[in-house]
Amino acid sequence: MITEFGHLALCLALAVALIQATLPLYGAYARDGRLVALAVPSALVQATLVGISFACLTTAFVRSDFSVLAVFQNSHTLKPMIYKISGVWANHEGSLLLWVLILSLAGASVAVFSKALPADFRARALAAQAMIGVGFYVFLLFTSNPFARLLPTPAEGRGLNPILQDPGLAFHPPMLYAGYVGLSVAFSFAVAALIEGRIGPLWARWVRPWTLAAWSALTCGIALGSWWAYYELGWGGYWFWDPVENASLMPWLAATALLHSAIVLEKRDALKSWTVLLAIVAFSLSLMGTFIVRSGVLTSVHAFAVDPKRGIFILSFLVLAIGGSLTLYGWRASKLENSGAFATVSREGFLVANNLVLMALLSTVFLGTLYPLALDSFSGKQISVGAPYYMATFVPLSALLIFLAAVGPLLSWRQDEFIRTKQRLLIVAAITAGGTLMVLILRGIPSGLAALGFIMTFWLVGGVVADFAHRLRYGDGGPVATLERVARLPRSVYAMVLGHLGVAITVFGITASGAWQSEVLTVTRVGQTLRVGPYDFRLSDLQPIGIKNFTAIDATVDVSEHGMPVYTLHPQTRTYTDPPSETTEAGIHSRWNGDLYAVIGKPDGHGRWQVRFHWKPFVTMIWLGALVMALGGIVAISDRFSRTLGVRRVAIILQPAE
Amino acid sequence: MTHAFFRALSHMGIGLTAALLLIPTLPALALDTDHLPNPAQEARARNLMLELRCLVCQNESIAESNADLAVDLRMLVRQHILRGETDAEVKTFLVARYGDWVLLRPPFKISTILLWIGPAIALLTGAVVILKRRTPEPFDDLTDAERAALKALDPQ
Amino acid sequence: MRKFLVFMPLVVLLAMAALFFSGLKRDNPQALHSVMVGKSSPAFKLTAIGTIPLLTDQALREGHPVLVNFFASWCEPCRAEHAQLMALANQYHIKVYGIAWKDTPDAAQKFLTIYGNPYAGAGADIPGHVGIDWGVAGVPESFIVRGDGVIFHRHWGDIRAEHIEESILPKLKEAGE
């Protein structure tokens, strides 16, 4: 009964979305205020209906109602409650329902929080938002109904892939979707602006908080996925460069470019058509990612039987939605006038260069992901594009990007000369030289690539420090005055500092864990000790254990340093029964300066076991850096709020009487 | 869909492929027994392994994969290095059997030329477009506020 | 110039969509092409499996096309495939040869005792080197070898009942011409 109710709610949401996609748009065109006014309530009703629908499916999962096909296929009565709930989105149908839930919530948020927008603009944006919604509702209802019934009702479910029974993965999809779908707001705003033919600093100001929120969520989502791969997949890697990962990296790169170009648009009224294009491209890449992952067109091995009907449907929708917006773009963009002029050496000049390099980075990922498919289609030749390709293309371009990121903020708007920033550039160079030298003396730098990584880390830190110091020393006047200036700096400055420092932290983590890691991959016996970096790993014991829904071989690995015990790791190989599958569970212990990582493999039949032991210095920094970046995004949003919601008063109180 | 989730699925796919093709009762031979006695050779072998694809895996190299065939190929690489072959010779050996698919770094050929120089083309084209389209406006010393004031004076 | 540039993104999208569309229509995206097709079958030495005649290079060069099947006793789909191999050998009178990949002669023998022996000749490739020489990534995989020993066709994965009429028999016929 509840299930049918959920299905009905979803159908009604489609009906409301159809209204929202058409009437307000016509109303804005025909200057009919009543039709324009429909946009806001229908966005709210739509979100409520999808919310009800999602709650119904969740109820079916919580109650283990196996008469629902999706529940039967992905759940089990023995499963812990949290995984019953995460089971809702751990399958194609349910995850798509989560996708439309977030999409409708984004629409409702626009309706609620964008009271300041002109009614016509808001109506057009919400209509565009609803058009995307219509596409996905139709897709859900006609090809992937999450409420499909199963008769007769089975007594027990098939369970959830054990590799997905993991807290990291329970939260990863909602986060990533919030990022993907959040970009739809920038897309809808772009479409609305193109229809109106007006884009300016005000538009950039409207779209920025939404882009920032989506970007922060996407950053966290990607980091969570990478972290999960690190501890769950059992070889100590955190990034594979496989099509599915690349599908999430591409919109991130586009959104990062959008954030930076929107600053130029907002401050200098330039880069109009480019910024609008980026807003369209960022969400288009999200849609493409969805297509790549769900159609099975690129992943060669896929656990779900891939329904070609679904692939064709998403592809058609993709062409319609993106093609429509790009046609609109081609028609309108050439009419957009840029007014703010600037020199090459200026803040804007460097932001443009930032966009250029980000686009080049995007092109490496794009080519690396799609080239094998294209080559296979045209010539039948099969190639692999793996990490070595990206090391040769992505890494040098990233270095270039980081070079720009440290210098750009030191320059002033419109026109500048390097000579005027000489002092600050010297600070950057000094910090880079000092930091790299310190690393070289303390730990050593084993390769040119590692040297590049450390130089980039300190270069970026130096840029942040020099910029910050410059802003604070301006007009000096003692420590009290400096502190006052600290309080008075706009939050957008802190946002940038956090964003760039986050990148530096991640680069440091990648570089340090790659440069200084120790790995032993061999076979060993119980009682033997292996040297891994500064640590001794001793395989002390192997015990079979049985827990609720799996049995495991549990290894005891005692780790010591200079004879002093450090930690005991428990890597396992698990055998699950529902559904039957084997997984390896790494034993991981994080110390302040790195991770101890142990994996137990298979026996050789002569009392020896395959083992993989790692010491990974500073590897956690990779994800910590992503968190800091996301925090920067949130601070930047709060800057908008503090300006619009009158938090100014706080600043006035902090300000000394003049 | 979430990338890691589907990666999980694909990995289960591999899991499945691996499980289907190479079910748990594994032959006793497929383990990394001994590393090469010469550390320099072992290091070379390790670097080479990072460039070779575990054929049944998503995008993992044979150095990283726990799959059975990856272990075999690791031992094979070591044997060939021990025989005194160069990296290129080992790659040629594998390409002759598995095709370019086995190389994680695609070879530079006519058919992959766009893949390799594409990013550079993107960078250069973008730079040219930007530099060409920038109409260098005469720079005056007016501030924005002053210019706005001027504009207000002159209605056109 | 500008007019042209603003429509570039649309052109890129359409090209991409066409590519994806052709990608969706690929019949089996996971099948790897074999680079061994068209090459002379690599030389090999196998270990005998019980009393089954030992498969040698010579058997692949006797003037008529044969089917060489890589299997293993530990491989699940090989069991599913076995009925088709039996049919090919007994009903269609095809010469089927078996190579037990990464398997011991004892285990392979046991497997063939339980499920029947379709092989006119067989052998065990204990360390798996023969499989690697043939470009085998996993079992089962089957090769159609021409009478002069040149590999003509590779079948990826298990041979299902429908594959016999669809591809195996026609390819065998082609190989014989």
In a domain, C105, yes or no: yes
Q: Inform me whether the pLDDT recorded for A89 exceeds 60.
A: yes
Contacts of A94 (CB under 8 A, 6+ apart): A57, A61, A70, A74, A87, A88, A146
Q: Which chains touch A (3 or more CB pairs under 8 A)?
A: B, C
Q: Given CB atoms, is C37 within the 8 Å cutoff of chain B?
A: no
Is C21 in the A-facing interface, judged by CB distances under 8 Å? yes
Q: In the predicted model, is pLDDT for residue A652 greater than 50?
A: no
Q: Between A and B, how many residue pairs show a Cβ–Cβ distance under 8 A?
A: 211
Q: Does C53 touch chain B (CB under 8 A)?
A: no
The answer as to whether C89 is a domain residue is: yes
Q: Is the pLDDT of residue B7 over 50?
A: no
User: Rounded to an integer, what distance in angstroms lies between the CA atom of residue A407 and that of residue A415?
Assistant: 14
pLDDT of B156 reads: 40
Strands C141-145 and C151-156: antiparallel
B99 shares contact with chain C (CB less than 8 Å): yes
**Of A240, A239, A234, A163, whose CA–CA distance to A587 is shortest?**
A234
| B25, pLDDT greater than 50 | no
How open is the CA angle C99-C100-C103, to the nearest 5 degrees? 155
Note whether residue C130 is domain-resident.
Answer: yes
C139 in any annotated domain: yes
Question: What distance in Å separates residue B84's CA from the closest CA in chain A?
Answer: 22
Is some CB atom of chain C closer than 8 A to the CB atom of B121?
no
Mean pLDDT score of chain A, rounded to an integer? 87
Q: What is the pLDDT of residue C131?
A: 92
What's the pLDDT score for residue C66?
Answer: 94
Under an 8 Å CB criterion, which residues of A touch C?
273, 277, 280-281, 284, 288, 291, 295-298, 300-302, 308, 311-312, 315, 318-319, 322-323, 326-327, 329-330, 333-334, 370, 373-374, 376-377, 380, 382
Tens of pLDDT, residue by residue over A360-407, are: 999 999 999 999 888 888 887 889 999 999 999 999 999 999 999 999
Closest approach of C61 to chain B, Cα-based (Å): 21
Dihedral sign for Cα atoms in the order A214, A217, A223, A227? negative
Task: Report yes or no: A617 and A115 within 8 Å, Cβ to Cβ.
Answer: no
What DSSP assignment string belongs to B117-150?
HHHHHHHHHHHHHHHHH---PPP-S--HHHHHHH
To the nearest whole angstrom, how far is the Cα of A300 from the nearest Cα of chain C?
Answer: 5
The answer to whether residue C80 sits within a structural domain is: yes
Chains B, C: CB contacts within 8 A come to 69
Give yes or no for residue B20 having a pLDDT over 70.
Answer: no
Q: What is the mean pLDDT of chain C?
A: 88
Lowest mean pLDDT among A478-482, A550-554, C45-49, C140-144: A478-482
For residue A632, report the phi and psi dihedrals to the nearest 5 degrees.
-55, -40
CA Rg value for chain B:
27
Q: Give mean pLDDT, residues A194-200.
A: 89
Q: Are A237 and B10 in contact (CB < 8 Å)?
A: no
| Peptide bond preceding C140 in cis form (omega within 30 of 0) | yes
By residue range, what is the domain housing residue C155? 34-176
Residue B100 near chain A (CB below 8 Å): yes
Q: Does a cis peptide bond (omega within 30 degrees of 0) precede residue B24?
A: no
Q: What is the DSSP letter of C149?
A: S
Q: Taking 60 as the threshold, does the pLDDT of residue A275 lie above it?
A: yes
Q: What is the Cα–Cα distance from B11 to B8, expressed in whole angstroms? A: 5
pLDDT reported for residue A575: 79
Residues in chain B within 8 Å Cβ distance of C137: 55-56, 69, 98
For chain B, list the contacting chains (3+ Cβ pairs, <8 Å).
Answer: A, C
Nearest to B101 among A382, A601, A604 (CB): A382
C8 part of a folded domain: no
pLDDT winner (highest mean) among B131-140, C14-23, C36-45: C36-45
| Span A59-64, average pLDDT | 90
Does B73 sit within 8 Å of C138, measured CB to CB? no
Measured CA to CA, the distance from residue A198 to residue A422 in angstroms comes to 40
Contacts of B119 in chain A (CB under 8 A): 360-361, 363-364, 367, 393, 397
Domain annotation covers residue C20: no
Domain-located, residue C83: yes
With beta carbons under 8 A apart, name residues in chain B contacting C76: 19-21, 23
Check residue A148 and give its pLDDT: 87
Percent of chain A at pLDDT exceeding 90 = 52
Number of domains in chain C: 1
Q: Write down the pTM of the prediction.
A: 0.89
C35 and B98 in contact by Cβ < 8 A? yes
Q: How many CB pairs lie under 8 A apart between chains A and C? A: 67
pLDDT digits (tens, 9 = 90+) for A445-466: 989 999 999 999 999 999 999 9
The CATH code of the domain that includes C110 is 3.40.30.10
Q: Which of C104, C169, C115 is nearest to C142 (CA)?
A: C169
Q: Which amino acid is residue A343, in one-letter code?
A: A
Residue A436 main-chain phi, psi, to 5 deg:
-65, -40
pLDDT band at A300 (very low <50, low <70, confident <90, very high): very low
Identify the residue with better confidence: B72 or A652. B72
- Inspect the interface and report whether the beta carbons of C128 and B19 lie closer than 8 Å: no
Give residue B150's pLDDT: 59
Nearest to A176 among B3, B65, B135 (CB): B3
Is C6 an interface residue toward A (CB < 8 Å)? yes
Closest residue by Cα to residue A208 from A408, A492, A504: A492
Rg of the Cα trace of chain A? 27
- Res A286: pLDDT: 94
Q: Do A521 and B32 touch (CB under 8 A)?
A: yes
